[in-house]
């Protein structure tokens, strides 16, 4: 077979603020090609990408590579990389057969790719009752993040109150539901009335509000105090949460999306952190998911959490885009809050 074009999204330049489609992330339909039948596999597998996961942390990988961070920097001039769900087309690796679905933890944003053992592919079983794409979301890294961080740091007790920001995102919505299942009162913030509606009507949060039109401080004053703050945003919301948390409260620092597109501009600081934490005997835990995963946690994720998703006790939403061309816009849209639940791009048929 003759080589065919291999569509890709190239990471062209380090953004200073929000990534601009066509400038920092560029769709290239035929700048590369691949010979599906004859490409060398080097003992690995040739795959067709089916779903590409778009995640907020990826903005942090678009940086000067000399700056150290927990996630490796993407390389300017190369295809962007993130977790991708792929179908094996050809394989020299006995662990993978044509037709298998695999998760590539650092997969190229290209229609076809060759992966070897070093790329850490995992074989995926089609989940029961839910879409394969959930391996990018509620059954993937974001699900693991919500489940394991609450388990490690939440010390949730029925009757307590938990506040979660970005409550209609994939991590936030799972945190909210796990807390409800554990018998807590749950308050969730989001930036969109349509999302508030989903949180109230579908997820049955006790309180859900739009932080763009209602002050966090007013809500926590009325419906708090809180025992746990699950922070996905950082900035002012985190500062306010300190004011409304009970003694022995837990603050779980998962992300700080308000800062991701600020470039070199200064970060928001929590005022009088020591005084607040000491006087209330607070537990404050930041974490990167890969630093808190262990065998016991993974077993619990499979045995306790996964059935909740497959049996519909944990609900989820996906904002699903189609095709390569849209990826740069879809990535930006996530930082404009246009996604409800997990942002995923379907780039080929399952």
Give the separation between CA 29 and CA 20, rounded to whole angstroms.
18
Q: Does 318 bind ligand NAP (CB under 6 A)?
A: no
Q: Does 339 bind ligand NAP (CB under 6 A)?
A: yes
CB 162 within 8 A of CB 130: no
Beta bridge partners of 88: 47
Residue with smaller CB distance to ligand NAP, 50 or 252: 252
Q: Does 15 bind ligand NAP (CB under 6 A)?
A: no
Give the position of tokens 């300017």: 76
Residue with smaller CB distance to ligand NAP, 243 or 259: 259
- Cα-Cα-Cα-Cα dihedral sign, residues 147, 153, 154, 156: positive
Residue with smaller CB distance to ligand NAP, 9 or 330: 330
Residue with smaller CB distance to ligand NAP, 182 or 292: 292
End-to-end distance of the chain based on CA atoms, in angstroms?
22
- Helix count and strand count (H, E) for the chain: 11, 17
Specify the stretch interacting with ligand NAP by CB under 6 A; choose among 28-36, 52-60, 150-158, 221-229: 52-60
Query: What are phi and psi for residue 137, nearest 5 degrees?
Result: -130, -105
Among 18, 268, 301, 335, binds ligand NAP (CB under 6 A): 335
Give the separation between CA 258 and CA 262, rounded to whole angstroms.
8
CB 16 within 8 A of CB 53: no
Question: How many CA atoms does the CB half-sphere of 285 hold within 13 Å?
Answer: 19
Among 15, 44, 143, 169, binds ligand NAP (CB under 6 A): 169
Q: Does 5 bind ligand NAP (CB under 6 A)?
A: no
Q: Does 288 bind ligand NAP (CB under 6 A)?
A: yes
Specify the stretch interacting with ligand NAP by CB under 6 A; choose among 20-28, 54-62, 199-207, 266-274: 54-62
Rounded least distance, CB 239 to ligand NAP, Å: 14
Q: Does 134 bind ligand NAP (CB under 6 A)?
A: no
| Peptide bond just before 48 cis, omega within 30 deg | no
Residue with smaller CB distance to ligand NAP, 150 or 170: 170
Q: Does 166 bind ligand NAP (CB under 6 A)?
A: yes
Residue with smaller CB distance to ligand NAP, 48 or 63: 63
Residues 241-260 that bind ligand NAP (CB under 6 A): 254-255, 257-258
CB 189 within 8 A of CB 209: yes
Give the separation between CA 112 and CA 35, rounded to whole angstroms.
10
Q: Does 145 bind ligand NAP (CB under 6 A)?
A: yes
Residues 171-190 that bind ligand NAP (CB under 6 A): 171-172, 190
Rounded least distance, CB 96 to ligand NAP, Å: 27
Rounded least distance, CB 259 to ligand NAP, Å: 8
Tokens (6 digits) for 7 = 């569509």
Of the candidates 16, 62, 127, 55, the residue with the CA atom closest to the CA atom of residue 327: 55
Which residues are CB-neighbours of 181 under 8 A, at least 6 positions away?
Answer: 308, 313, 314
User: Would you tell me which residues interact with ligand NAP (CB under 6 A)?
Assistant: 55-57, 142, 145, 166, 168-172, 190-192, 195, 232-233, 254-255, 257-258, 287-289, 334-335, 337, 339
């Amino acid at each position: 077979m003759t080589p065919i074009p291999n569509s890709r999204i190239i990471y062209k330049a380090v953004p200073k603020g929000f990534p601009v489609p066509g400038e920092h992330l560029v769709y290239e339909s035929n700048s590369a090609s691949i010979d599906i039948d004859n490409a060398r596999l080097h003992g690995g597998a040739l795959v067709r990408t089916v779903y590409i996961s778009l995640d907020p942390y990826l903005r942090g990988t678009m940086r000067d590579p000399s700056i150290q961070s927990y996630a490796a920097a993407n390389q300017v001039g190369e295809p962007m990389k993130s977790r991708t769900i792929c179908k094996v087309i050809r394989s020299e690796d006995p662990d993978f057969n044509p037709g298998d679905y695999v998760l590539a933890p650092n997969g190229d944003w290209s229609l076809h790719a060759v992966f070897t053992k070093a790329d850490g592919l995992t074989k995926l079983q089609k989940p029961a009752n839910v879409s394969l794409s959930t391996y990018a979301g509620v059954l993937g890294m974001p699900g693991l993040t919500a489940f394991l961080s609450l388990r490690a740091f939440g010390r949730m007790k029925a009757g307590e109150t938990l506040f979660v920001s970005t409550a209609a995102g994939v991590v936030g919505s799972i945190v909210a539901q796990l807390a409800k299942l554990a018998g807590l009162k749950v308050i969730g913030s989001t930036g969109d009335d349509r999302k508030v509606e989903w949180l109230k009507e579908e997820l049955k949060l006790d309180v859900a509000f739009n932080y763009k039109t209602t002050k966090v401080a007013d809500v926590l004053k009325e419906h708090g105090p809180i025992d746990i703050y699950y922070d996905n945003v950082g900035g002012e919301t985190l500062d306010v949460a300190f004011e409304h948390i009970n003694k022995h409260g837990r603050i779980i620092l998962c992300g700080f999306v308000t800062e991701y597109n600020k470039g070199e501009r200064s970060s928001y600081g929590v005022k009088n952190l020591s005084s607040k934490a000491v006087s209330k005997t607070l537990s404050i835990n930041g974490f990167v998911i890969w630093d808190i995963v262990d065998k016991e946690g993974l077993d619990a994720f499979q045995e306790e959490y996964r059935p909740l998703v497959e049996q519909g006790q944990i609900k989820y939403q996906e904002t699903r885009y189609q095709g390569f061309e849209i990826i740069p816009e879809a990535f930006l849209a996530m930082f404009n809050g246009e996604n409800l639940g997990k942002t995923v791009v379907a780039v080929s048929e399952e």
